[in-house]
Structure 1
Amino acid sequence: MIGTLCIFMLLSSTAAWGSVGLWSQRGVRNGTGGGSRDRCTCDAFLPSSTFPNRDLVVVEETAVEISHQLEHEMGKLEDYETKLTAYAERIIQLTVEIEKIEKNPHDYNDADMDEVKVEIKQVEALVKELQLSIASSTTVFESLHEQITAMVETLDRMEKTYDKNMVLVTRREYIKVQMELEECERRHQELFNPNIGSCAHSGIIRVSKPIVSQLNAHLNSGYKFGGWGKDSKPVPDRESMYWYSGSTSSSIFEIKFYTSYKNLILRNQFQHHNLQSGWSGTANNFIVRDNTLYYQINSPFGLAKLNFTTLEYESRVIAKASNRFSYTNTPNQNFDFAADETGLWVTYATEESSGLMVIAKINETSFGVEEEWQTSVYKPGVSNAFMVCGVLYAARRVDFETEEIFYKYDTRTKQESHISVLFKKFQDNFSNLDFNPTDQRLYMYNDGYYVSYHLWFNHTTKATVAPPFLLTS
């Protein structure tokens, strides 16, 4: 009887098991005396690298640490609310007392005046302390965003290299932490930036550090063209919806919708529209407004809109618009749609203007141009542009990691000016940059990554809803 012995030779120094990359089998005949025996040697080649448990543990520990920090910040926000109410009430009382003193100065002596002055100094000291606390919270949020960005990069790398199921639990923890941070920032914004939707300001004064959500839904950095964001005028029950469209060329063939930020991160779409059946477009400066996609088409060269509620398609031609002038970063971006607090816009250049940008206000019902404004900024020298409260803001590249908002044109006053508001990019190039009035954020599609920014505006005293002591002196 012939017996077979299989010896497993694990040709790897690792102690951890992974998936077997290759099996080979060798048969050896060895006869001794009157009998014989075959020996079958099976070689299992294990992967050269093992699953990085240490990296996963670090990510998990970081997630727990961030959660604790967020709990602490949420507690501070509740404390801020209490202090704001108390300080506001005390300021109102002091205002009433001062008015009484001004009306009847003879009824008060020096001691009364000194007492009021002391109280004012005390409130002033408390306000300064609160301002420092608020500033420290903002710094914490920025630090947490940096940590979360590092976490998602690690998870993406591990997901591509190792078993996705082993990373999924940690990714869920990361999403939970990111959602907590979003909620904490939302409450912070409601407390200290209550002017969302207000246009009573003199413009942008600051842009936050880039908030990197993740690589696109295709998990492919080759999808450098496209856009993402929120509906700037959401229909009922879709206020939390996000959209994304990406391509390896400057064209738009499809668009995906997600019910929430969490599902965007999980790449769990609820709608997917294929635009190749007669609806495809070009360029990347498209937006979603009122559940309608506004984008550029080439045949005929003009504007298009596709309503996802009714699936009605419509196009328009702007006779003067030229197809020779695009933004610095990407080709064919001749029309750039934008939406703000005042409605729908599109910008382009003409032969008549020699490439200078033209701003046009679009009537959303008729899909026609209501009014046009001529600017003095040369479109090929601009990396992208967006609208806020009827004001055009143009950006240009400074270096690999820095962008500058350098120009603004106010359609209300027909005044233009040069400004300098610097902000950082996650990657060098970007194909889409748009403002969303529902949350006062900039959304950038940055070489395949979802990136967003908070904006700060120079609100006038009249427009400021918060108590006056929150204003920087």
Structure 2
Amino acid sequence: MKLLVIVPLCVLFTLTQQSAENCVCEFAQSEKSFPHDKLKTAQAAASDCNSNLTPQKTVELESLLLGLHHRLPQLEKDVSMLEKEDDGELYGVLSLYVIENEMTEIKQLMDKLNSTALERELLTADTTQRLQDLREEMQELETFDTMQVVKRQQANQRLRRDLEQCKNGLHPTQQPTKPPHGTCPYGQLLNITEPRVYTAGEYPGSYKYGAWGRDPKPEAGKESWHWLIMMTSSNRYAHYVRFYSTLSSLIIGVSVPGNILIHSSNPATNTIQGPNNVLYGGALYYNCYNKDAVCRFNLTTKSITTVELPKGTRYNSKGNFCHLDECYPYTDLDLATDESGVWVIYTTTQDFGNLVLSKVEEGEPPKLGQTWHTSVYKLAVTNTFMACGVLYATRYVSKEVEEIFYSFNTVTGKERFNIGIFIKKLAPNIEALNYSPVDQMLHAYCDSYMVSYKVLFELMDDQSWS
């Protein structure tokens, strides 16, 4: 009986298998195939637009306009002086010579401005056309979104945005309590603007490390001078300071009066070591070559005096500014200026690598004044600067952003680790940073480029110092 049941089942299985082998299925696709080549073309076009439209190109034009803005009133002033004092004698000839030089510089500035404006106009027209073409291609690609995935994502984004606006309207964000300002005439440091000046100067891309700025206490007749120091040997040494009579001269790369030599060669006993240097009261302050000391070079007398730092001070690239990817060599000592004079920021073995701040007192010879000890680790800092007696420290966030995250108040001794002011960078690294109290500008030297930012302060009613 069991045998009779098994035989028909085997026959049925054999017949079914043969039928399956003879079955043919046809698949007809009703939808058009997705044009992956067009999507790749659109992605490449978008990437090309991003690489062409950089902030540097916009800021470069603004820098040139700013230079011209400062230059024209000076020319008008000099012409007015000539009209009053020209008596046809030698003094008139000298005044004419000064005006001739200024007009030459203005012409160079305008030539560069015209060239940059034309490049920007062509770039804008080309980018506008590319964006229009890209828009049309994306609209065509959206027709392949038959399941409306993209449209639903866009609708969800709009909905989330509306919900956020509604939530913020019902529960407005409480403004953080700002500490009152102290003796600073401008108030508390509130923010940093977008870059105001951006220039490669005379040597585009040639010297990665350096510093630049203005003398907060200039000698008579040198109020508009700007200085520049480039590490011309091994990204470590320099033996001269270069001057520019105006900001526009620096932007277009015309150095007058030129270089003032500290020594005829590099390295030597009085060589500048490291990029963190400042000019104050007609003297250059810098890290002495191969020493844990500050050198002061008098630009008029060419004399050099030194200020010894405490025993255990880290030097010769043993206490640098750093971020996760790299350290900036020979940045052991950072010189800074503010409304009250010159400061030096460093670290010692006794402080276990934390920042130490000392006032450099003027005099003959200069000497080290009061010293403060902080709790911020120097290797976690990329740069420092002083403003109104407050030490500020920055850290690396990304290639595009640096953050002012820390402050130390020398009056109250209070530290803050939550400053949260972001600096928009036009180059990945800031090798030197210095505040100028003359015009409340922050001068940065970034991978051979010179960039400056306006420092914004907020004056408050409470006159106490926090």
Please, which runs of 5 or more residues in structure 2 have no aligned partner? 1-55, 67-105, 117-181
SS in 2 for 1:304: strand
Deviations 1:185-222 (A, max 9, x none): xxxxxxxxxxxx97145532110112233103223x13
- Measured after TM superposition, the shift of residue 431 of structure 1 is 1.0
Query: 1:404-443, aligned counterparts within 5 Å?
Result: 404-418=403-417, 419-443=419-443
Aligned to 2:370: 371
* Equivalent residues of 2:108, 2:252 under 8 A apart: no
Aligned to 1:326: 320
Measure the CA separation in 2 of the matches of 1:440 and 1:171. 24
* Equivalent residues of 2:434, 2:442 under 8 A apart: yes
* Equivalent residues of 1:403, 1:423 under 8 A apart: yes
Measure the CA separation in 2 of the matches of 1:286 and 1:202. 26
State yes or no: 1:339 paired with 2:337: yes
Aligned to 2:119: none
Deviations 1:321-347 (A, max 9, x none): 112211014111111111111221101
SS in 1 for 2:288: strand
* Equivalent residues of 1:347, 1:358 under 8 A apart: yes
Aligned to 2:356: 358
- Measured after TM superposition, the shift of residue 280 of structure 1 is 1.1
State yes or no: 1:294 paired with 2:285: yes
Percent of aligned pairs sharing the same letter: 30
* Equivalent residues of 1:253, 1:274 under 8 A apart: yes
- Measured after TM superposition, the shift of residue 422 of structure 1 is 0.7
State yes or no: 1:241 paired with 2:225: yes
* Equivalent residues of 2:320, 2:330 under 8 A apart: yes
- Measured after TM superposition, the shift of residue 453 of structure 1 is 0.2
TM-score by length of 2: 0.57
Measure the CA separation in 2 of the matches of 1:411 and 1:171. 42
Aligned to 1:138: none
Correspondent of 2:298 among 307, 312, 321: 307
- Shift in CA distance, 176/434, structure 1 to aligned 2, threshold 3 Å: farther
Measure the CA separation in 2 of the matches of 1:172 and 1:374. 49
Query: 1:5-404, aligned counterparts within 5 Å?
Result: 145=59, 147-148=61-62, 171-174=109-112, 199-200=184-185, 203-219=188-204, 221-248=205-232, 249-269=235-255, 270-277=257-264, 278-318=269-309, 319-323=311-315, 324-328=318-322, 329-365=327-363, 366-404=365-403
Bigger strand share: 1
- Shift in CA distance, 264/198, structure 1 to aligned 2, threshold 3 Å: farther
SS in 1 for 2:274: strand
Measure the CA separation in 2 of the matches of 1:406 and 1:384. 11
Q: What is the identity, as a one-letter code, of the residue corresponding to 2:300?
A: T
* Equivalent residues of 2:59, 2:198 under 8 A apart: no
Measure the CA separation in 2 of the matches of 1:225 and 1:292. 21
Measure the CA separation in 1 of the matches of 2:437 and 2:115. 25
- Measured after TM superposition, the shift of residue 268 of structure 1 is 2.3
- Measured after TM superposition, the shift of residue 291 of structure 1 is 1.3
- Shift in CA distance, 331/200, structure 1 to aligned 2, threshold 3 Å: same
SS in 1 for 2:277: strand
Deviations 1:396-418 (A, max 9, x none): 01001000000000000011112
Aligned to 1:39: none
Q: What is the identity, as a one-letter code, of the residue corresponding to 1:435?
A: Y
- Shift in CA distance, 150/176, structure 1 to aligned 2, threshold 3 Å: closer
Q: Which structure has the larger Rg?
A: 2
Task: Pick 1 or 2: higher relative contact order, CA cutoff 8 A, min separation 6.
Answer: 2
TM-score by length of 1: 0.57
- Measured after TM superposition, the shift of residue 296 of structure 1 is 0.3
Number of aligned positions between the proteins: 288
RMSD: 2.8
